[in-house]
Structure 1
């Protein structure tokens, strides 16, 4: 009786499909579809009719359809009884999602590496975003991608996308000459190039890429460390420029201070020598700050003690000289008044 009730079933539809499915095969007991069965295709759905191993029909419009096969109720059962109820006439229905699939997530599986054109160091950058697509050629997609699988989820097509997006993005970044600080500013241009590069590939698979967006980027740890060092050095250079000291002079002072701390510990004579040497370097800096760089017909201006004291205080606050050195040099400047 269960076999006969199955044979009398005449309405087939895709009820409550899971939101992450692109294709799903409809099955019933005995895997048979009777002659003159009714097929219901709902809104946003489509269906592929496979009969005896061949795609015989693609239903892309919603509505009610008649199916004609060689399976006839009751007579099929009589024949099946001789063959352990295995039907001669195998038919299959594969429902697919026709509606647009929006806001599908993607992300590069590994950092994309290229050379920063300004600083000449390797940059490892990853990207993430979303894309939207629809099945444009169901039969082609079914033959080339689904290949008769019982189910085909959205995540499988995401893997296809990721496998094809990395190379175009790498080529674009290598040729675009964007510094690491310019990546986010050009996200739309990068996304447009990647979309145009992969759209034809997906067209051959049977679906249409509607949009492709880059929401953000992230640098790998090695790149973040390099960027951090560059940022620190840039900030330090700006601070030294405000003090009127170049980077070479700063390094010279720092080296002298380190030597005084490390080698002159417990040796007052060596510490005094180091202090005198630093005083000479400081005096040269102060002289450079007050000496005109280009000759002019007017007489050179007199030294301005207030300017010297101001610069001296800035150097003390920046940690370039200690309190003892600051006090001694301050007294020296004041004694010249």
Structure 2
């Protein structure tokens, strides 16, 4: 008797498991007496009879269908294998992992913006995550007509509506067209919610959506870079001062050469100018604010007391309180 039982027995398993496959349907017409079920890590086995779920088995391992599985099937608990007949049920193996898929816009999306009448052409790329979360809906809408279901099938479904969703959430609430990356989290959150509603009818759930980058046409990107550079430089005089100071401190501008002399001269002139400006705004205590430009013995005496040449660097002085070259106080 055992000889015939082994002849009719079979193994119910997803042997060629694929990471890019969402489910796979065991395609034998019936389960024989003495069969066993093998569930590997990352798989669930769903027994289906007449389109309805009989039982879902999640524990990995090897199980005897007659003794370990049938007693837990909802309407087939009393099923008894006959000598030469098997149990007619379908077994759907479901990949339980969370899938991560890369996406990217194939063509630029024209986002309406007042700056460009024809719209701002923008490309974007990123990733999204999804998993199976409703077996009943999955079987009813997808597995009932398909024997396999691939990640690529879901990607095609998602990318078919992605351009419209990007346009919707980029344009919403007046997003800054030239700084979309700063708003990428808000944009991604809105798209994820819409995509989740889109695939919910297939028994799937979008668990994450990320925008890695927004890409502008080269001429627009050059303009953004130029505006950002001008904003960083700000005051040109301050930029020159900082550049020269960095050059001397790093050794790129060294003493003895024309570059160093020019740098020292410009720094001295700028420093003297700032000091004169501060002096004019904050006159010496006890003096009338206009006394510095006045005439008379006091002004003449002060001018006479100032040397014609700086005692520190030798630069010529024309009546200033501070040397225009090195900043040495002269009067």
Matched, 1:182 2:179: yes
Matched, 1:38 2:36: yes
Q: Distance in 1 between matches of 2:151 and 2:172?
A: 33
Q: Distance in 1 between matches of 2:126 and 2:155?
A: 12
Deviation at 1:10, TM superposition (A): 4.4
Task: Find 1:150's aligned residue among 147, 150, 153.
Answer: 147
1:121-140 deviation per Cα after TM superposition (whole angstroms, max 9, x unaligned): 51111221112222111221
User: How many equivalent residue pairs?
Assistant: 222
Matched ranges for 1:177-326 at <5 A: 177-219=174-216, 223-225=217-219, 228=222
Deviation at 1:111, TM superposition (A): 2.3
Judged with a 3 Å threshold, the aligned counterparts in structure 2 of structure 1 residues 35 and 9 are, in CA distance, closer, same or farther, namely: closer
Query: What secondary structure is seen at the aligned counterpart in 1 of 2:17?
Result: coil
Query: What secondary structure is seen at the aligned counterpart in 1 of 2:178?
Result: helix
Judged with a 3 Å threshold, the aligned counterparts in structure 2 of structure 1 residues 235 and 44 are, in CA distance, closer, same or farther, namely: closer
RMSD of aligned alpha carbons: 3.7
Contact 2:5 2:34 (C-alpha < 8 Å) held by counterparts: no
Q: Distance in 2 between matches of 1:215 and 1:230?
A: 19
TM-score between both structures, scaled by the size of structure 1: 0.55
1:136-155 deviation per Cα after TM superposition (whole angstroms, max 9, x unaligned): 11221122133332221111
- Who is 2:292 aligned against? none
Q: Distance in 2 between matches of 1:110 and 1:147?
A: 35
Q: Distance in 2 between matches of 1:167 and 1:133?
A: 20
- Who is 2:240 aligned against? none
- Who is 2:284 aligned against? none
Bigger helix fraction? 1
- Who is 2:15 aligned against? 15
Judged with a 3 Å threshold, the aligned counterparts in structure 2 of structure 1 residues 113 and 152 are, in CA distance, closer, same or farther, namely: same
Query: What secondary structure is seen at the aligned counterpart in 1 of 2:193?
Result: helix
**Structure 1 unaligned regions, length at least 5:** 77-86, 243-337
Matched ranges for 1:70-109 at <5 A: 72=81, 74-76=83-85, 90-101=88-99, 103-109=100-106
- Who is 1:66 aligned against? 69
**Structure 2 unaligned regions, length at least 5:** 71-75, 237-331
Judged with a 3 Å threshold, the aligned counterparts in structure 2 of structure 1 residues 235 and 17 are, in CA distance, closer, same or farther, namely: closer
Q: Distance in 2 between matches of 1:6 and 1:149?
A: 31
Query: What secondary structure is seen at the aligned counterpart in 2 of 1:160?
Result: helix
Deviation at 1:60, TM superposition (A): 4.3
1:243-293 deviation per Cα after TM superposition (whole angstroms, max 9, x unaligned): xxxxxxxxxxxxxxxxxxxxxxxxxxxxxxxxxxxxxxxxxxxxxxxxxxx
Judged with a 3 Å threshold, the aligned counterparts in structure 2 of structure 1 residues 59 and 42 are, in CA distance, closer, same or farther, namely: farther
Query: What secondary structure is seen at the aligned counterpart in 1 of 2:25?
Result: strand
Deviation at 1:228, TM superposition (A): 4.7
Query: What secondary structure is seen at the aligned counterpart in 2 of 1:66?
Result: helix
Query: What secondary structure is seen at the aligned counterpart in 2 of 1:105?
Result: strand
Moved more, 118-127 or 169-178: 118-127
